Amino acid sequence: MHSLAQEIQGFSKNHLKKQSTRVTTVTGRKLLETRSDEGHVEQVQELEEEPGCGFVEDKSLDLQVGAVRPFLLLASQDAAHDIDTLQRCKVSHVLNVAYGVSNLFPDQLVYKTLQILDLPDTEITSYLEECSSFIDQAREKDGVVLVHCNAGVSRSSSVVIGYLMLREGLTFDDAYSQVKQARPSIRPNPGFYEQLQHYKP
């Protein structure tokens, strides 16, 4: 009969479960890092997405660019980060109204960044004058402005709708339908929608 002390001694360190850490990289890859006792990373394996959580991440890039006007385009950050798309659309200026999305081509394009949160109580209309001035500057230089947020659905579409109301005197309904025609996936969050409905430039 072993004593408990002998049993503990006989239990080699190799039997101990290695410490594994789940890591999600900036690009969204999920990795499992296994560390040795000394804390060095021994093994990194890519995890498959767990089934059954009901949310399927769309890995495909959204490079659809909606032309609201010849000088005014609306898209997601994917298009804003794709130099081929930008060149094909003759983009010269980029209005980035996302939060935490970097501008990749500062040497080639003129950028304006406003870190706007996509929350219903964010006052989107308070940004419209500044955004519209930037769009006007590009237009005066015969440039083409790409307006984007993360998905090109709520913040950037609200800014473009607001621009049409502010600069062209369109009603909310007309501005909304023209922007939706250019980019069918738009959906300003309920707060932005309501603010724009009541917006009096």
* Residues recognised as catalytic: 149
Q: Buried b vs exposed e over 35-73: b needs ≥16 C-beta within 10 Å?
A: eeeeeeeeeeeeeeeeeeeeeeeeeeebebbbebbebbb
Q: SS3 of 126, please?
A: helix
Dist. CA 83–CA 132, nearest whole Å: 24
Q: How far apart are the first and last CA of the chain?
A: 89
Q: Which two tokens stand for residue 68?
A: 């609201």
Q: What angle do CA 96, 97, 101 make, to 5 degrees?
A: 65
**d(C-alpha 70, C-alpha 104), whole Å:** 23
